[in-house]
Amino acid sequence: MIRRIIVTADDLGLAPDVNAAIGRAHRDGILTAASLMPGERAAEGVAIARRSPGLAVGLHLVLTDGTPVLPPDRIPALVRADGRFCDSMAGLGLALATSRAARDQPRAEIAAQFAAFRATGLACDHLNAHRHFHLHPVIAAEAFRAAAAHGVRAVRIPWEPPALIRGVDPAARTQPRALAPFAALPRRLVARHGLAAPDRVVGLPWSGSFTADRLAAVLPRLPPGVTEIYLHPATASGFPGGAAGYDHPGELAALLDPAVRAAVAAIPRGGYAAMLG
């Protein structure tokens, strides 16, 4: 089995700084895929995608910390008074677990986000979720069912081998073993719906700080199979909706770095469909 990689940028559509960085990282760097937030500045993100025909674009499902597609009065259990999604994943997760009415609302919003993506005319290469909220069993079940119904064949399962990360950064806070069951359930749902997922993901403990040195160091350590490497590039930090403390320009620089480009030169890379097909 050979090594193959998917290099993804999340949050396409979030802000002009993000959109510009994604276009440049694909044109001049190693970026192969991006995930679109349909409730944000999607039109600008779609324009970037259309100018980048080799960029595989998927749906970045947003159910927390973002802007819904549906009117807020259609999904009151999911939104704050200002109409944006609730920031508390724990609180929303509890509501989904205990309220049938609350569970109906993500189903409607997920359908609306798929419809919004379809309206762009872009082929949907994959599905993942903002802040990996599709690890919640209720959301995973609805999202993967919708993906299969819309002909999306691949999804992200955010599982990362701790040893791989500690080989580069011994001090990194890797995923606790207690989270393993939360990745196992989505994998069962992936199989049930006839979907595919990369064997592993890299970037969880380095979100916002995935430097060129880390990227260049982890690439030679990747085991056989399909690895997704994900980052959050932008041309500047501090834009509305950006995560506090993230070095977005540093992550863009990592995708453009000459040493990184040399390290991936011999490794097949592309979007989800191309690497998992």
Residues 6+ apart with CB under 8 A from 21: 9, 233, 234, 235, 248, 249, 252
CA distance 13 to 229: 19
CA distance readout (Å), 103 to 77, 190, 263: 9, 20, 45
CA distance readout (Å), 80 to 73, 83, 236: 11, 5, 28
pLDDT of residue 24: 98
Which CATH number does the domain housing residue 80 bear?
Answer: 3.20.20.370
pLDDT of residue 277: 83
With H, G, I as helix, E, B as strand and everything else as coil, classify residue 276: helix
Q: Whole-model pTM?
A: 0.93
CA distance 202 to 146: 26
**How many Cβ atoms from other residues are within 10 Å of residue 261's Cβ?**
14
**Nearest in space to 201 (alpha carbons), one of 151, 247, 164:** 164
Domain of 181 in residue numbering reads as 3-276
Number of domains in the chain: 1
Q: Which two tokens stand for residue 270?
A: 């592309």
CA distance readout (Å), 128 to 35, 53, 198: 8, 21, 12
pLDDT of residue 97: 76
CA distance 243 to 269: 28
- Tokens 């992200």, residue located: 156
CA distance 124 to 132: 18
pLDDT of residue 90: 73
Q: What stretches in the chain show pLDDT beneath 50?
A: none
pLDDT of residue 146: 96
**The amino acid at 84:** R
pLDDT of residue 180: 59
CA angle at residue 34 from 66 to 113, to 5 degrees? 45
- Tokens 């453009």, residue located: 256
